[in-house]
Chain A
């Protein structure tokens, strides 16, 4: 038996399009390492450089959010189902302020990583023109 892992659309490029994959491990951390061996790069989308679970990725073991189960230390058993979902979040707040409120450097890094693509948005041009 193994652990069934449900992959969200946005990460299926790592799994060759597969919606459900299987892995092994006694903890979420072990499972993600095992998966990264087969689907290189997947772990990096879920874990920050500091080694913590990304704030804006939701991971569930069966029906529980892993944040309530010890995050990466969450214990796993054969037959468990792990579900990964991108958190749905956003809002009118500026990105620096949002990152501060979130209190998470990785979130800020993720935002800044996208900043270049967004900087020339019509909204920014419009507000610059006002």
Chain B
């Protein structure tokens, strides 16, 4: 289960829409060990491609050091697919190097539909997990659960991740 603040999800979707048709990518850092994404860091896609993304190595060093200094870790690593579904490609799985992170995928293939899904990728094995959007701006005690499907009106898949 990925719990994430609505404002962060909105910022990630906005980033993905802004960079469309290129793939967008970034990180949400969170306190080490807390499994809570709190600080959204949009990253440059050094590949500037519609089908590939890669963090700029120098920007990555700076951001990873900053996380280290703040005792944070990459809670979420996100990127967009701009013409295909929000599911990890073989390429994504092969290069997934942060076993502790939630891999969040956004598809921008439909301009009117939000398609956001979250996965764990450990040792080449993909496990989908539910996303819980926390609406901190409305009422910190009120938490609503959503399952993102491929259409905004219905949930058309289920997953049993924790």
Rounded to whole angstroms, the CA-CA distance of A126 and B128 in the bound complex is: 15
Beyond A10-B97, A88-B25, A89-B54, whether A111 also contacts B91 by CB under 8 A is yes
Return chain B residues, CB-CB under 8 Å to A9.
73, 98-100
Known: A90-B96, A114-B94. A58 touches B61 (CB 8 A): yes
Asked if B145 CB lies within 8 Å of chain A CBs, one says no
Whether, in the assembled complex, B81 has its beta carbon less than 8 Å from a beta carbon of chain A, the answer is: yes
Contact call A91/B124, Cβ cutoff below 8 A: no
Name, among A65, A88, A115, the residue most crowded by chain B CB atoms within 10 Å (CB to CB): A88
Tally of chain A residues near chain B (CB < 8 A): 36
Q: Does A2 contact B (CB under 8 A)?
A: no
User: Main SS of chain B's interface residues?
Assistant: mixed
In the complex with contacts A8-B97, A85-B64, A93-B57 CB distance below 8 A: no
Contact A85 B91 (CB under 8 A): no
- Specify which chain A residues have a CB less than 8 angstroms from the CB of B47 in the assembled complex: 89, 91
Whether the Cβ atoms of B58 and A88 lie closer than 8 Å is no
Stretch with Cβ within 8 A of B (4 or more), from A34-42, A71-79, A94-102: A94-102
B interface list, Cβ under 8 A from A = 23, 25, 27, 43, 47, 49-55, 57-58, 60-61, 64-65, 73, 77, 79, 81-85, 87-100, 123-126, 128
List 30 interface pairs A-B (beta carbons < 8 Å), by A numbering: A10-B98, A58-B57, A67-B57, A83-B64, A85-B64, A87-B54, A87-B97, A88-B27, A89-B55, A89-B91, A90-B52, A91-B47, A91-B79, A91-B81, A91-B89, A92-B23, A92-B50, A92-B83, A93-B91, A94-B91, A95-B90, A98-B91, A107-B94, A111-B90, A111-B94, A113-B124, A115-B90, A117-B125, A118-B124, A123-B87
